[in-house]
Amino acid sequence: MARIWRKWKIQPHRIETFKFSTDSELEAKVRDVIGLYLAPPDNAVVVSVDEKSQIQALDRTAPMLPLRPGLAACRTHDYARHGTTTLFAALEVATGKITADACYPRHRHQEFLRFLKVAAAHPRTDLHVVLDNYGTHKHPGVRTWLAQPENKRITLHFTPTGCSWLNMVPVNRDLLSASSPARPSAAAPSAPFKDLTGAIGAFIDAYNDRCQPFASTKDADELIAKIKPSKN
């Protein structure tokens, strides 16, 4: 059986998932977002905004055994949790640079609005913000702030439901996986949390030193053809 699987390149142990968006404005939103990526308006800044909540500051209950030749570092399975934090970040599409405010203890519209004010620090420039459909992004308090005359230069562009992959900011994947804290063990209760937020900030700084512009490789027509369910 194994030889047959190898011959025909069948991999029964692997399962991939897919999801069709049921957004009634799917095509219009895809064209809107991809249009910003491929042909941004003149004299405007396009950023992708996302957040990562429930980042845990964990502390192992015993000192780690260090890395040695032929042996991996070893740590206990047990740990103590010293709180969580939420990281808000904005990626400027034209440069690849990430703007990230301090990590926030909560994940409400107040924190999102506070971060939006930081991300909007482009005076006298139209700002286009690509983001997903999380409830805090559409809170009445956020809409009220955007309706103020001095903020009308800021436009929010929402990805279709089920299509958050259209958002370029890599908060949910590479950013946080690469910015893990320096493995504290049996430290003071506040130390793991400071290590966590410090490591995230240090990673973002290092990332910005080598960042590159992000480019979409497919136009809207190609994407729509792939993500719309077949009628067959």
Highest mean pLDDT among 92-106, 123-137, 187-201: 123-137
pLDDT tens digit string along 140-172? 999 999 999 989 999 999 999 988 888 888 654
CATH of the domain at 49: 3.30.420.10
Give a yes or no: residue 143 inside a domain: yes
Residue 165 structure tokens: 């992959």
Mean of the pLDDT values across residues 134-141? 93
pLDDT at 30 over 90: yes
Q: How much is the average pLDDT of 116-144?
A: 89
Q: How many percent of the chain have pLDDT more than 70?
A: 87
Residue 17 lies in a domain: no
Residue 123 resides in a domain: yes
Residue 12: inside a domain, yes or no?
A: no
Residue 130 lies in a domain: yes
Give me the phi and psi of 71, to 5 degrees please.
-130, 135
Q: 150 or 217, which is more confident?
A: 150
Of 30-39, 91-100, 110-119, the range with the highest mean pLDDT is: 30-39
- Report d(CA 193, CA 101) in Å as an integer: 16
| pLDDT classification of 20: cutoffs 50, 70, 90 | confident
Q: Report pLDDT for 186.
A: 43
* Stretch 112-136: mean pLDDT: 87
In a domain, residue 132? The reply is yes
Q: Quick check: is 2 in a domain?
A: no
> Is residue 154 situated within a structural domain?
yes
The total number of structural domains in the chain stands at: 1
Q: What is the pLDDT of residue 57?
A: 80
The long-range contacts involving 4-7, CB below 8 angstroms and separated by at least 24 positions, are none
- Average pLDDT, rounded, for the chain: 84
Give residue 230's pLDDT band: very low, low, confident or very high (50, 70, 90): low
- Rounded CA-CA distance 86/219 in Å is 33
CA triple 45-228-21, angle to 5 deg: 70
Answer whether residue 93 shows pLDDT above 80: yes
Structural domain range at position 27: 23-62+76-223
Q: Give the pLDDT band of residue 86 (cuts 50, 70, 90).
A: confident
